[in-house]
């Protein structure tokens, strides 16, 4: 992930764990992921999920028709007890989905004993001990300024700046998002917010590097006063240092949840949030992927609807841990597997694409490469791709990023209660995550998969995606319509929005690729506009012909779409009023 560039209390050398277990600084030595062979004779049962899942988590699965499987069962308690019997071994947390546990030990004999246990299938060093760490990274006691070898941990694209553009502020009827208005308008989310859909009833789990001062800033006071910070968990440090570590998550949270009337408005300011720290910004080792896994499992168990992760992994402080491009196939890395499993359990996983676009390594990180994640790249407010935004495709040829949103010069509250700008896909991701929560609030019966599909299909480049913009900038008003009609418009031919503007479009579902023409008639039956040489592709198509009709008088018109091969046609009425 990116390093924040703001040196604030980076006390980051420990893992949070269940009560009664020590933090990372308790012993020297390496950190190992221990994999177990099975869950045989476990006391847990898929028939009694209340023993390991919250009522909200169970309800989410019931509503989406998702079964509870053996993969959801916790690690066998006896296996963990066997690890804990050795005083030279500390156990931090375990994983239901990957059936393993994170330990730390400096004793080779203890490690050999664990490797020899009948139920252990393997072990992997995921972070070296302190001495090895010092050898690999000279001067590690000081915050290192970013270099390309630090990959996304270099927050060169996330530096907060003073905001000097008063003209960013614009008003909408009944709503004043202030400086946030253009960011929200870019994804056509204003109407959702104006109609009162602002994330209420949706639980968002935020996986990030820390939330410095988020318990003090006035921009979040509405969350604390209404009890909508549901909880916190620190998988990096013990005791918890959620609000005294990196401010990266603070800015991310502001994009979703911040509210300062007339100045800032998050895309889901009425949602409930659970703040989870999984990222150690001082180092970059694979241990953070397992922290992410633990955070995603926690999100699942508490019943979160949405995960926002402005994190990504591909390059590490130990080059031997680096991923190759071929590894970014959507299911090889630990975090990609974790994101897939979270999505399969009905959670919408929204993840930043990464900030590698203008580096030698330009590809999306992981879990942005995963099948389950809705991966978000960054554009400026004019809709142009940000140079740092990571590119696709994935190693197996899929389009990534999935969509784009504002990520260059995003307004947030700074730590002194002013307004600042932040840069990075770290901030385009929560723009989408929050708006997705607001969209889900309007369509509470939608599946996570349907929500993801609607958002992608609303992208302005959905029919001509590429590996830079993905499917383009989504239109949340259109995504809402797709959900309303189960992806099938009420009529065969739909004009939206209507009355039309230059940006309005017609939507049509075609079973095959075929040519068509457009004819526009006035009320006298005269053809006043004609367009040919157009092509429909299989699936849902959107065409924007109205920007070429500025010469027409305001009034009522009829649009006829004719399929050239068959002569079949559809007619829709529209009103021009600009």
- Copy the structure tokens of residue 555: 């009034």
> Where along the chain do the CATH 2.60.40.3080 domains lie?
493-576
| Closest listed residue to residue 242, CA positions, set 271, 262, 216 | 216
The per-residue pLDDT for 159 is 39
Query: What's the pLDDT score for residue 537?
Result: 83
> Which residues are CB-neighbours of 218 under 8 A, at least 6 positions away?
260, 413, 417
Residue 558 host element (H or E): strand 555-563
Give the pLDDT confidence of 258-313 residue by residue, as tens digits: 999 999 999 999 999 999 999 999 899 999 999 999 999 999 999 999 999 999 99
Residues 27, 106 contacting (CB under 8 angstroms): yes
Q: Does domain 30-127 have CATH number 3.90.1070?
A: no
Q: Give the pLDDT of residue 132.
A: 56
Write down the pLDDT at residue 167.
39
Distance of alpha carbon 340 from alpha carbon 335, whole angstroms:
8
C-alpha–C-alpha distance, residues 126 and 107, integer Å:
16
| Low-confidence residues of the chain: pLDDT under 50 | 1-27, 136-171
Each residue's pLDDT tens digit, 49-72: 999 999 999 999 999 999 999 999
The reported pTM is 0.83
- Closest to 273 (Cα-Cα) out of 300, 243, 306, 298: 306
**284 contacts 150 by C-beta, under 8 angstroms:** yes
CA distance 251 to 246: 10
DSSP letters spanning 55-81: HHHHHHHHHHT----GGGSPPPHHHHH
Pick the CATH number of 493-576 from 2.40.50.180, 2.60.40.3080, 3.90.1170.50, 3.40.109.10: 2.60.40.3080
Q: Which CATH entry fits the domain spanning 177-314+324-484: 3.30.365.10, 3.40.640.10, 3.40.50.200, 3.90.226.10? A: 3.40.50.200
In this prediction, residue 487 carries a pLDDT of 67
Phi-psi region of 80 (alpha: psi -120 to 50; beta: other; left: phi over 0): alpha
Q: Do 127 and 286 form a contact (C-beta atoms < 8 A)?
A: yes
> Start-end ranges of CATH 3.40.50.200 in the chain?
177-314+324-484
Dihedral of the CA atoms 426, 321, 22, 111 (nearest 10)? 160
Secondary structure (3-state) at 101: strand
- Judge contact between 541 and 510, C-beta under 8 A: yes
Q: What tokens does 370 get?
A: 């995963």
């Amino acid at each position: 992930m990116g390093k924040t560039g703001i040196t604030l209390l980076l006390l980051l050398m420990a893992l949070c764990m269940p009560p009664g277990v020590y933090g990372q600084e308790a012993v020297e030595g390496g950190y190992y992921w221990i994999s177990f062979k099975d869950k045989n004779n476990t006391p847990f049962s898929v028939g009694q999920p209340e023993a390991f899942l919250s009522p909200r988590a169970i309800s989410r699965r019931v509503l989406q028709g998702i079964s509870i499987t053996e993969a959801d069962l916790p690690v066998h308690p006896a296996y963990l007890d066997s690890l804990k019997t050795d005083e030279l071994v500390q156990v931090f947390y375990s994983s239901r989905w990957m059936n393993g546990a994170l330990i730390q030990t400096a004793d080779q004999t203890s490690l050999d004993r664990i490797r020899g246990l009948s139920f252990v299938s393997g072990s992997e060093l995921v972070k070296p001990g302190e001495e090895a760490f010092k050898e690999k990274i000279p001067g590690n006691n000081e915050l290192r300024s970013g270099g390309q070898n630090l990959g996304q941990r270099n927050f060169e694209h996330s530096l907060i700046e003073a905001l000097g553009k008063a003209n960013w502020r614009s008003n909408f009827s009944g709503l004043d998002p202030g400086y946030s208005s253009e960011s929200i308008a870019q994804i056509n989310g204003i109407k959702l917010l104006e109609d009162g859909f602002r994330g209420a009833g949706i639980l968002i789990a935020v996986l990030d590097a820390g939330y410095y001062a988020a318990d003090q800033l006035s921009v979040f006071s509405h969350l604390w006063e209404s009890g909508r910070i549901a909880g916190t968990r620190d998988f990096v440090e013990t005791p918890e240092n959620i609000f005294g570590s990196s401010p990266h998550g603070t800015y991310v949270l502001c994009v979703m949840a911040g509210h300062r009337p007339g100045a800032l408005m998050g895309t889901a300011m009425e949602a409930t949030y659970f703040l989870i720290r999984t990222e150690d910004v001082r180092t970059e080792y694979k241990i953070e992927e397992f922290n992410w896994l633990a955070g995603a499992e926690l999100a699942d168990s508490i019943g979160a609807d949405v995960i926002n992760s402005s994190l990504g992994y591909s390059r590490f402080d130990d080059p031997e841990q680096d991923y190759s491009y071929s590894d970014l196939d959507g299911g090889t890395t630990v975090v990609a597997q974790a994101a897939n499993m979270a999505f399969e359990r009905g959670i919408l996983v929204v993840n930043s694409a990464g900030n590698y676009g203008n580096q030698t390594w330009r590809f999306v990180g992981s879990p942005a490469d995963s099948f389950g994640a809705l991966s978000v790249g960054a554009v400026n407010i004019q809709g142009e791709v940000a140079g740092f935004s990571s590119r696709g495709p994935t190693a197996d040829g899929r389009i990534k990023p999935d969509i784009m949103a504002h990520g260059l010069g995003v307004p947030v509250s700074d730590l002194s209660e002013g307004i600042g700008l932040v840069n990075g896909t770290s901030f385009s991701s929560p723009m989408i995550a929050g708006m997705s929560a607001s969209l889900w609030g309007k369509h509470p019966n939608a599946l996570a998969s349907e929500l993801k599909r609607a958002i992608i299909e609303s992208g302005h480049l959905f029919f001509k995606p590429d590996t830079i913009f993905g499917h383009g900038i989504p239109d949340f008003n259109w995504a809402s319509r797709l959900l309303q009609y189960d992806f099938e418009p009420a009529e065969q031919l739909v004009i939206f929005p209507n009355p039309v503007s230059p940006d309005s479009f017609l939507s049509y579902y075609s079973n095959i690729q075929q040519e068509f023409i457009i004819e526009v008639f006035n009320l006298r039956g005269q053809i006043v506009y004609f367009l040919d040489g157009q092509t429909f592709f299989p699936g849902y198509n959107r065409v924007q012909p109205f920007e070429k009709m500025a010469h027409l008088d305001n009034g009522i018109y009829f649009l006829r779409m004719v399929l050239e091969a068959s002569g079949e046609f559809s007619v829709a009425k529209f009103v021009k009023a600009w």
